[in-house]
Amino acid sequence: MSTLTKPAATKPAPAAITPRANAEVFSLDGVSWEAYSTLRDSLDANGRCNIRLTYDAGRLDLMAPGICHEWPKMALDRAVIVLTQEFGIPRRCLGSTTFRKEAEEKGFEPDQCYYLRKEKLAPFRKWPKRSADAAEGPSPDLTIEVDVTSSSIDRLPLHAAWGVGEVWRVDEHAERVTILLLEGRDYKPGDSGLFPGLKAELLSEALQFDADDEEARMGQFRGLVRTRLRPSAPQNQ
């Protein structure tokens, strides 16, 4: 008597995970401050800090950053590291920290933010390590803003509301950087006020390096900084 053997069940192959090239942005209107704050806190509590929220008086943008958003951000982050090392400037990076002002119904997360001046760094010694409210600390000296997405909210006024003195803005093609300096309540293009002699063109070149290794790209940028800016003694920030 022959025995029929049931073929073993085959498990479906796991779906391939493909990183997104472009960031996805979703916009909502009529969102209350309480709903925005609750959503931000819930995402953080569930390990979804990668979802970026921008809120301005009832309008909410949600963004999931993609490769085209993250690589220019990190290229400029490495540029900040090189510049602070070469100029002897202290540096504290708080990444995409959430900044919220309930009274003005504004909240946003810069793509990257830095504290570089000594008077800004000192308060961190007293800042609670687990504080979730960035309003308790000083405003950043520098932020990076990557504009490869189409946000429904103009984010520069949010940077200005926190008194961010300098913004490095990457254009939609991730090819050109503009240095924006806060004058009153608006930003004007110019040369860096944090790194003597630094022009936007040099930062734009940092986006064009084709080396695969990050250390190699940092070495290329360091060479340009030493050749063109000639940093000498540490700056007194």
What pLDDT, on a 0 to 100 scale, did the predictor assign at position 234? 54
> Model's pTM, two decimal places?
0.83
User: What is d(CA 106, CA 233) in angstroms, rounded to the nearest whole number?
Assistant: 40
% of the chain with per-residue pLDDT over 90: 57
Q: Are 67 and 19 in contact (CB under 8 A)?
A: yes
From first to last of the 237 residues of the chain, give the pLDDT tens digit: 444 444 444 444 433 333 444 557 889 999 999 999 999 999 988 877 788 899 999 999 998 887 888 889 999 999 999 999 999 999 999 998 899 999 999 999 999 999 999 888 877 666 655 555 555 668 999 999 998 666 778 899 999 999 999 999 998 888 899 999 999 999 999 999 999 999 999 999 999 887 788 899 999 999 999 999 988 645 544
CA 74 to chain CA centroid, nearest Å: 8
Structural domains of the chain sorted by starting position, each given as residue range(s) with its CATH number in brackets: 70-228 (3.90.1570)
User: Tokens at residue 25, please?
Assistant: 């942005």
pLDDT per residue over 161-188, tens digit each?
999 999 999 988 888 999 999 999 999 9
How far from 156 is each of 26, 160, 163, 205, CA to CA, in Å?
19, 6, 11, 23
182 — alpha (psi -120 to 50), left (phi > 0) or beta?
A: beta
